Structure 1
Amino acid sequence: MIRRSFLAALAFAAALPLAAWAETPLKVVATTGMIADATRQVGGDQVEVKGLMGPGVDPHAYRQTRSDIVAMTRADVVLWHGLYLEAQMEDFFRDLARKQTVVAVAEGIDKSKLRAHDDYADKYDPHVWMSPDLWREVVIEIQDTLTEVRPEAADIFAANAQAHLAELEKLQAYADQTLAAVPEQNRVLVTAHDAFGYFGAEHGYEVMGIQGISTQSEAGLNRIGELVDTLVDKQLKAVFVESSVSDRLMRALIEGAAAKGHDVGVGGELYSDAMGEPGTYEGTYVGMLDHNITTIAGALGADVPERGMNGKLSAGY
């Protein structure tokens, strides 16, 4: 009887580590909504994710708050984008990395695939999430990081990552097909800042932002004047505002075109540096890009599905 009890106790003790990691999610802090969403997709019930930057938040200008610092110092893993996106927080992350697992998930992308940064020497355009093919590399980096921290759940992370990568493949195919349906002369995308460079390069669109790659760059009167002339010369009918950037400069652009006798409308609001509201389809990475692709293509002259690739967009086009 005593021996059986002893063996049962040993078996219980041996099972404790497995039970502990299975029942206690990893605490992960992610800077942007896009990284937070990818981490939830890969981590599943093995992670508890806190995103620092919600809808409408500009990551170029964001500074960590006291509550952010507390959350990050208590986290098992901190994931940030890198490529100078969170420019105001870089020193903090480098200090924090001396004490815990802190990973810049986009820094590992082959630099030959990246666009040079117009405003800062030796920097690159950070907006890689605009390309599902590039974003795949970030998803894989997140998988690798979670696996390194919790190797016991490697199979779970691998299966979840493969399922999400399949979604991204479908999204890329939808983008390729839908954006190719826009008449060639209409493939000009005018936005608040230059966040759509990877998008334009992939799909053959001319992309022009009032501000540069960073929203911290200045947009002078000369730049607005140049874009007004472009709108008039090309007879462009639609420009696009962004959810995380003030529309003040875009309104000035529209008024400038009107003063020259050319009417330009807002083709829609795009998600550039932040996703939609939590709990909505647009509050996921796939929904964010589905919205952008469908809105851009529809406004520029293509026939698009009323509610996007998956029929889930909250407002029909």
Structure 2
Amino acid sequence: MTPPQREVFFKRLYALGTPKASCANRLGCVRLAIHLLLHSEFEAAVAVLAVVCSSMVPVNRASTGRSFLTPLGNEYFLPVRKSNKLTSRSVLCMLLLVAMGGTYLLENPLNSLVALHPRYVWLVERLLEHNIPTYKVAFWMRKFGSLSFKRTWVWANTKRICSLDMGPLFGWEKQGCVQTTTRYVDKAGKRRFVGNSNLKRSQQYTYKFASKIVQMVPLVRQDTMENKIPIKVSPESFMDLFGKMNFGEECKQWDSEADLVRVVQYVRGSKKLNIPREWRELIPKTIPI
């Protein structure tokens, strides 16, 4: 990666960490994410995914209904449904990335239940079938210039994430940290706390963290070459293989989790969509809902 390329990659990574960044729950954004992955360099792509954590952390367990036994939570609650959909769409991007020989990093705060989401568990199990392990590391985001302590977890299909762990926090590093919650005692004398403006700001990646990820990329790509999914070479053309694909129960299950039909409708509704003539007969005319 040349210095100009590193700079562009760095700026894009930092932008994706800002609170104003679009998320994969928006139709245009999930389309864009898939487009970027498909147009990335084969066996070289590295992506950081950070599922919105508010629905996944224990502090909101009373309203979300999530636990180790019920990771999907109470899906009658709209924020829970949105979070589950976002997680399933993120796993779809991870699956596509790994299939292309790339590397994903999934980031969430300490004690997040995102890794227990059934679709992510499914991905981990599928990778293990191909002898590709999933690694996990815990570290302090404060080490990378965060305004708060922010103990963080990262999962990935590369062992290089261990370099994110820069050891325990020392006393001098704790100085100047901001509190992300405001504690108070209610009228009944019970201690409570509520998130403040610093909590939202803690979602933003720091330049130091983004720079660390960029520095890891060359080493991560070395691991990618070692942990590739074996590809069986077929004498059939790609179009023939695509034509034999089964758009059955598996697709229905993915759609029920990730609401993919609406994504397809969004893409097909574009006036600028140009499907090559030879592909038009292969793509289903209708999609069962």
In the superposition, the TM-score normalised over structure 2's length comes to 0.25
Larger Rg: 1
Q: Relative contact order, CA 8 A, sep 6+: which one is greater?
A: 2
In the superposition, the TM-score normalised over structure 1's length comes to 0.24
